[in-house]
Structure 1
Amino acid sequence: MWKGAVSFGMVTIPIHLYAATENKNVTLRQVHESDGGRIKYKRFCTADGEEVPYGEIAKGYELSDGQMVVLTDSDLSELPLPSSQSIDVLEFVPLEAIDPIYFDRSYYLEPQKAATKPYVLLRDSLHKSGHVAIAKVALRQRESLALLRVYNDVLVLTTVLWPDEVRTPDFPFLSEETPQVRAQEMTMAGSLIESLSEPVFEPSKYQDSYREALESLIQSKIAGKKTTTPPSAKEDEEEVSDLMSALRASVSAAKKTREPSGSGKTAAKGTKKAAGSTRGKAAATDEQATDEQAEEKPAEKRTRTRRPAKGA
């Protein structure tokens, strides 16, 4: 959820922004056909062949000669962006003045508490005028043009492509002599359009036939118990094995470096003391790990039963 404000003139409307659309495509994963195991990809550096942790990945702009301009998060954070919490209205234009080819993605705007009146004022004014508002907004670290319009009594923000993002058609037939179309052909084409015309667009009349067929195929395989349980990932097992080997080697090396030169009794005391120290460090480490986990994870409800109150 994005929280900000619509600003036009001296009026500010605090709002929440929600995605107005969702992808309903059936998600299919790449798997090994023989056993259903998921295909896993790793990030490797082409220069040294090493796997690169996500935290070490930056963005780069490649030049025509193969040189790379590396851009870090710090570099990008210094670029000028409008307030990420503001939708700044620039002007108002008729909706039909904007070709749909510029439309990108739409979001619903919900007024925050105490902002309903100015929200309704802008909504009803736009509806009455037949205009839409052209605005600028920063979403996902990118400045976008957008338009504000009314849809089902709700203000909708639709991001708009920049002019240089829309390609100019350059097809050979556009520069050739235009074929002559006979009047009779134009009349017949007009009749066909008229016979298939409807007063309004009703999207509920249409279905995604491919998606429905794919869902039916999946359900039939489930009903016929044609499923498979993928084997455990070997990479994870190898990582655990490597970790155990490293720990054993570390313990062995630590024992050799701590072997005493004196009596066994002194050594035992030293070992006992060291063990106690190790337990203390381990306990401290466990506490630190628990604190870090508590910061990373949301609070969980306690399951302990509380002592009943007096008089209950």
Structure 2
Amino acid sequence: MPRSIWKGAISFGLVTIPVKLFSATEEKDVSFRQVHPEDGGRIKYKRVCEKCGKEIPYAEIAKGYEMPDGRMVILEAEDFATLPLATTKAVEVVQFVGEDEIDPTYFAKTYFLEAEGSGAKPYVLLRDALVKSGRSALVKVALRSRESLALVRPKDNMLLMHTMLWPDELRDGSFAAPAEDVTVSDAEVAMAQNFIDALAGDFKPEEYADSYREAVEALVESKLDGTELVAEEEPQEAEVVDLVAALRASVDAAKKRREQATADDESDAEPKRSSKAKKKAG
């Protein structure tokens, strides 16, 4: 079981719910070391003070806040522990909202909320009330040296908390929108909808994998074994002149892939059915 990263309470009106917070996600990206290519030795960095030139151990490094006029204010761990901020130990519910009201761009990180001690009953009360109301709790909480908005919502018999960015942390992306004079025809939109329908289905995350990570791992294995990887052919990028024709071809290709996938699933299931039939016959 992972270690909790925070302990506090959810303030649900006059009801208090003691909780522990656990990270709900972990990144499994490919990690590399910076090394000297001649001998494989790892590259190390020293933390050196720019004024005195001394190497400073990590444990002795403090946090400094630089004022606009250049003055540096040194902050100690005790300073943060005494911050006049209620949300350092309490998740304050500020509003109840529909989950679809919040743009997913706001979401930063996901956590599990676990009831602690006497918090089990009020935890279940909040969870079930949110389920029946079809709403989520918008809260404020201070985690890891910053206060955040967050959304508490029920999922699979538990409560999840999604920390959120503040509005001024979202960049203006209007520059990325196409020019207003770019238009498409009804036929092009209809064919695009056909392509969407051809690939529509239920989201099954277990069907997807990180191909890049798998490719890097295969590359590392080939380096160890002294074998050569067969390079994938790069797709040829063709200039699209007729959007409707291109989309029609895309729809046909998508249907063929789906039919092939269905046939593969049925062929995989056939040995299982045959095995069961033999057992019954025996």
TM-score surpassing 0.5? yes
| Alignment partner of 1:183 is 2:193 | no
CA shift, 1:170, in A, is 3.5
C-alpha offsets along residues 127-182 of structure 1, whole Å, 9 cap, x if unaligned?
A: 121111000111012111101001221100110110100111231756x4332321
CA shift, 1:214, in A, is 2.0
2-structure distance, mates of 1:222, 1:173: 47
Q: Sequence identity of aligned pairs in percent?
A: 47
Q: Secondary structure, in 3 states, of the residue corresponding to 1:68?
A: coil
Q: Secondary structure, in 3 states, of the residue corresponding to 1:105?
A: strand
Contact 1:8–1:90, Cα closer than 8 Å, also in 2: no
Equivalent residue number for residue 61 of structure 1: 66
Which amino acid counterpart does residue 205 of structure 1 have in structure 2? E
CA shift, 1:19, in A, is 0.3
Aligned residues: 219
C-alpha offsets along residues 40-93 of structure 1, whole Å, 9 cap, x if unaligned?
A: 001223344443343144324374xxx534231249536532242211111100
CA shift, 1:190, in A, is 1.2
Contact 1:108–1:157, Cα closer than 8 Å, also in 2: yes
Alignment of 1:1-312 (within 5 A): 1=4, 2-54=6-58, 55-61=60-66, 63=68, 68-74=70-76, 77=80, 79-171=83-175, 176-198=179-201, 200-221=202-223
2-structure distance, mates of 1:115, 1:47: 51
Which amino acid counterpart does residue 110 of structure 2 have in structure 1? S
Equivalent residue number for residue 278 of structure 2: none
Root mean square deviation, CA, Å: 2.3
Cα 1:88–1:57 change in 2 (3 A) is closer
Q: Secondary structure, in 3 states, of the residue corresponding to 2:215?
A: helix
2-structure distance, mates of 1:94, 1:126: 10
Contact 2:87–2:147, Cα closer than 8 Å, also in 1: no
Which amino acid counterpart does residue 73 of structure 1 have in structure 2? L
TM-score for both structures, normalised by structure 1: 0.64
1-structure distance, mates of 2:37, 2:193: 52
Cα 1:121–1:181 change in 2 (3 A) is same
Q: Secondary structure, in 3 states, of the residue corresponding to 2:88?
A: coil
